[in-house]
Structure 1
Amino acid sequence: MDIEIRPCVGVGPFRLGMSVEEARGTVQERGLFRTVASDADPGQITLTHDASRLSVVLGFTKGALSDVELFRFQVEDADVRVLLDGLDVFRTPSEVLLEQLAERGHTFEENDLAFDALPELEVILSNESSYGHPVDEEGDPIHYDYVLVANRI
């Protein structure tokens, strides 16, 4: 399964600005994710892909999808790719990914809060934790394990 990050548009079938009802309909129609948590009038809908343990959180503001958060899969050999500009975000080492994005003309801002922002794309990439994910010799995460796509970062 490939999930494409579409900056300023959305992630996969989820489009920024879509209503809660449209998002729920997309989940049911596609059948790829199981709804883990959601209120009747949600601020968030939490989804999971059981085979890979990839998590997706759909955030809503005033009933419209305003952000999508992706949390890296827990099953390392899962047949799942999360793509940004054709690059595999969760399998490409984070330093290499930033270099490749820069080569494609994307600018990023690093900060001391452990995330990298791509402001013109309204995307944030982060190493939230190394729990259950590959780490280097020093114990630092090798790959990003979190992506935020939003209306505004």
Structure 2
Amino acid sequence: MEIRLNPPDGIPPVFIGMPFEEAVKAAEVWGDVRVLGPTSLDPTVKIQAVNDGFDVLLILRDQKTVNAVDVSGPDGDDGDGDDGTDLRVLYDGVDVFRTPARQLLPMFADRGHRIDDTDPESPVVLDLTIAFSRWTSQDVPVDPEDGLPLYFTAALVSNENPRTP
């Protein structure tokens, strides 16, 4: 399966600003869908599509329209970027979960994009509004220079920057 990041518009077939009902239906392409929230402590509604080895989370802060889309990559990489699934999460033809993080961020910078990597575990491509994460509870290969997972484990696309420099 291929999932294409399309910042700042979303991750097709889900787009930022899409109404709740349409988002639930669109998310079915990725797997079994469930709706989480709102709760008394958190008014945000989340629509989660779960598939074998990955999930996609749609975030609706106002409970009505999609504000962000987060895809979490598969677990089980043995160190060569092959996680045993056919999932490919692409931005401009590059698989963001199979390209080492140390190579991916300079690729964005070389294309003229601004990177905020003050938090190396969660860098942001500011003008594309893509936030990456290297956080995982899984036993995965780590980068010998910084001790973080070698590959990104999640990518969030929104219509606003999570951090401003």
TM-score range, shorter chain: 0.7 to 0.9
Q: 1:37 to 1:64 in 2, by over 3 A?
A: closer
Residue 43 of structure 2 corresponds to residue 59 of structure 1: no
Using the TM superposition, give the Cα deviation of residue 91 of structure 1 relative to its aligned residue in structure 2, in angstroms: 0.5
Q: Which amino acid aligns with 2:106?
A: E
Flag the structure with higher strand content.
1
Residue in 1 aligned with 2:155? 147
Equivalent runs, 1:1-150 vs 2, <5 Å: 1-28=1-28, 30=29, 32-39=30-37, 43-50=45-52, 53-62=53-62, 63-75=64-76, 76-112=83-119, 114-129=121-136, 131-136=138-143, 140-150=148-158
Alpha-carbon separation, structure 2, partners of 1:137 and 1:110: 18
* Paired AA for residue 47 in structure 2: I
Q: 1:13 to 1:61 in 2, by over 3 A?
A: same
CA distance in structure 1 between the aligned counterparts of 2:11 and 2:139, rounded to whole angstroms: 24
Structure 2 distance, partners of 1:8, 1:58, is 14
Q: Residues of 2 paired with 1:16 and 1:87: CA distance? A: 22
The 10-residue stretch of structure 1 (88-97 or 40-49) with the greater mean CA deviation from structure 2: 40-49
* Percent of paired sites with the same residue: 31
Using the alignment, how far apart are the partners of 2:7 and 2:67 within structure 1? 12
- Report the AA paired with residue 69 of structure 1: D
8 Å CA contact 1:130–1:141 kept in 2: the answer is: no
The structure 1 segments of at least 4 consecutive aligned residues displaced by more than 2 Å after TM superposition are: 36-42, 132-140
| Contact 1:43–1:61 (8 Å) recurs in 2 | yes
Contact 1:130 1:140 in 2 (8 A): no
When the two chains are superposed, the root-mean-square deviation of aligned CA atoms in Å is 2.2
Which deviations, in whole Å up to 9, do the C-alpha atoms of 1:112-151 show, x marking residues without a partner?
3621111111111121125143334575310011111112
Q: C-alpha distance in 2, partners of 1:17/1:145?
A: 25
How many residues align? The count is 149
- Name stretches of at least 5 consecutive residues in structure 1 with no aligned partner: none
- 88-97 vs 74-83, which moves further: 74-83
TM-score normalised to the size of structure 2?
A: 0.80
